[in-house]
Amino acid sequence: MKYFPIIISLFIISCGVSPKSLEGPLYNLTEKGIDQIFGTITVKPLDKKGIIIQVSATNLTPGTYGFHIHETNLLTPLVKTDGSQVIGGMAGGHWDPDNTGLHLGPNGNGHRGDLPQLFVDKNGIVNSIMTNTKIQLADIKGKSFMVHGNPDNYSDAPLPLGGSGPRMYATPF
C-alpha cells in the first residue's frame, strides 16, 4: 500500500497532463511521402486565448508561401480516381471544424486552418512567429501544418489546388 500514491500519481501524469508546447519537424513533401527535414514548427498556448506558432527553417526558396492547418497528420500522397497524384493529399483540406466552407484569412470567420503567409528571406531562411486566437493547443493533435508553393489569396480558386498551389512542406502533429 505504501506505493499506491506513487502508482496513482504516475497514472494521472501519463493520462491527463497536456504538453505545454508541441514541436515537430518540417518535412519536404514528395511523390513518395516525406524526405528531408528543413526546420521545425513549435506551437505554444497563448494565455488560454489561442496559440503561438513559430516556424524556423533554412535552405528554402525565397518568397511568400501559403500556410495552413490541414485536417489530418497523414503526409502521404493521394491518388485520385483519374490516376493523378496530390503530394501530401492524405492530409485532407484546410481544417474547418465549423464547416464554414470559407477562406477569410487568419483569425477571420472562415476556416480556422487559415494562417498568415510565410515569408522566406533572400537567404532561404524563415524564422516567423505568429498568433491565432481561434485555435487551442489541444486542437493541433492529429492535424498538420502545411506550407504551399504560392502566396495565399485566401480562396479555393483557382481549382484544383486552390489559391496557394501545391503542397511543399509539412509538419504532422
CATH code: domain of residue 69: 2.60.40.200
User: Residue 14 domain-assigned?
Assistant: no
Q: Is 127 part of any domain?
A: yes
Distance CA 115, CA 154 (A): 9
Q: Is residue 12 part of a domain?
A: no
In whole angstroms, what separates CA 62 from the centre of its chain? 20
Report pLDDT for 162: 65
Task: Say if residues 75 and 90 touch (Cβ distance below 8 Å).
Answer: yes
Residue 3 has pLDDT above 70, yes or no: no
What is the C-alpha to C-alpha distance for residues 74 and 88, in angstroms, rounded to an integer? 7
Residue range of the domain that includes 84 = 19-172
Does 8 map to a domain? Answer: no
Give the model's pLDDT for residue 57.
98
Q: Say if residue 14's pLDDT is above 70.
A: no
The 10 Å Cβ neighbour count of residue 159 is 7
Is the model's pLDDT at 1 over the cut of 90?
no
- Asked, for residue 5, whether it belongs to a domain, the answer is no
Cis peptide before 160 (omega within 30 of 0): yes
Question: Is the residue at 122 inside a domain?
Answer: yes
Residue 23 included in any domain: yes
How high is the pLDDT of residue 103? Answer: 83
Higher-confidence residue: 104 or 114?
114
Give the count of domains, the chain: 1
Residue 160 in domain: yes
| 32-86 residue pLDDT tens | 999 999 999 999 999 878 999 999 999 999 999 999 999 999 999 999 999 999 9
Per-residue model confidence as pLDDT tens digits over 123-165? 999 999 999 999 999 999 999 999 999 998 887 677 655 678 8
User: Could you report the per-residue pLDDT of 87-111, keeping only the tens digit for each?
Assistant: 999 999 999 999 988 888 888 888 8
